[in-house]
Amino acid sequence: MIIVYGITLSTLVLVICGANICEDRNLKGCQRLAAIKQDMCQDNCMATLCPRTCGLCPLKCYSCDHVDHPSDCHHIVQCTNMTMSCITSQTVTSSLEKKFQLGCVDNTVCNDLYGPVPNLTQSIIRRDVDLIGGCCSSDLCNKYNEPDKIPAPTMNPVQPSGNTHGFSAACTEMDSQVCRHFSENNGCLLSCVASMCPQTCGKCSLTCYECASVDLPGHCRNRITCNGHQESCIAVESHVFNFKEGYKLGCVAKQNCKD
């Protein structure tokens, strides 16, 4: 058995099989939400939808035995608990070849090998030891090509694209694109998604103008409450009894609008 700094490789790297995978409800939705609302993880609803983005999941790490270089590793595992970090460590095989081993390791082991684990989104590779390696504390951070040239991640601000036309101020959602992502795969069945995206999930009543006949749509003043999930507001050109052109306004089934 190979020993690295007095610690057996069987202890150093743990490959996870059959673990419950902790993931965001929708990766694109969580990424956009994080760009719009940087404090989103303080909201219980958003944190429930985006546990990995909010750092509530065990890390995912590259995991390989005896590869020539960390960039050759493509297998990914989820660590068993929140007290583990990703690690890359150079080892020596029984034939005295230098190889790399990647995986998950307890923070105490990382601390013994390389010092405290940095809270950064890139690998920290030590060059002042015979067998190079390092630990890091973000998803998939233990694979690199040129460690000294890894750029820091950037977060581009995103302009919210809320859609409130026709709805009351009390029935609004932060961003229509975020809600579109989260509503996929029956997401609206989740109370958290439905409360954050009431329009997308059809939980809002829709207020439309309603008139049997007016000369211009802008002259209609009567209002009616429609079913926002099944209906849309409509204004159609019509003819009144004296054959003059006019307009009829009200609610109509969404399917009729498509036709």
Domains of the chain are 3-22+57-149 (2.10.60.10), 176-258 (no CATH)
State yes or no: pLDDT of 127 exceeds 50.
Answer: no
Confidence (pLDDT) at 30: 94
pLDDT per residue as tens digits for the range 96-111: 888 899 999 999 988 8
Buried b (16+ CB within 10 A) or exposed e, 214-234: beeeeebeeeeebebeebbbb
What is the number of alpha carbons within 13 Å of residue 237 lying toward its C-beta? Answer: 3
- The pLDDT of residue 219 is above 90: no
Q: For the chain, how many helices (H) and strands (E)?
A: 7, 13
Which pLDDT does position 6 carry in this prediction? 35
Q: Are 87 and 65 in contact (CB under 8 A)?
A: no
pLDDT at 2 over 50: no
Query: Tokens standing for 29?
Result: 């939705």
Please tell me the pTM assigned to this model.
0.60
Cα 52 from Cα 193, distance rounded (Å) = 17
Q: How far apart are CA 171 and CA 206, in angstroms?
A: 9
Assess contact for 193 and 67: CB atoms under 8 A. Answer: no
**Token pair belonging to 72:** 């050759």
Q: For position 102, what pLDDT does the model report?
A: 93
Residues 86/142, Cβ–Cβ less than 8 Å: yes
**Rounded mean pLDDT of 22-48?**
91
Q: Which of 46, 44, 42, 50 is nearest to 22 (CA)?
A: 50
Spatial distance between the Cα atoms of 101 and 171, rounded to a whole number of angstroms: 53
Distance separating alpha carbons of residues 201 and 215, to the nearest angstrom: 35
Is the model more confident about 196 or about 169? 196
Mean pLDDT of the 224-240 span: 76
Q: Return the higher-pLDDT residue of 231 and 211.
A: 211
pLDDT value, residue 115: 77
Alpha-carbon distances of 107 from 58, 70, 114, 115, rounded to whole Å? 12, 20, 10, 10
For residue 31, name the pLDDT band (cuts at 50, 70, 90). Answer: very high
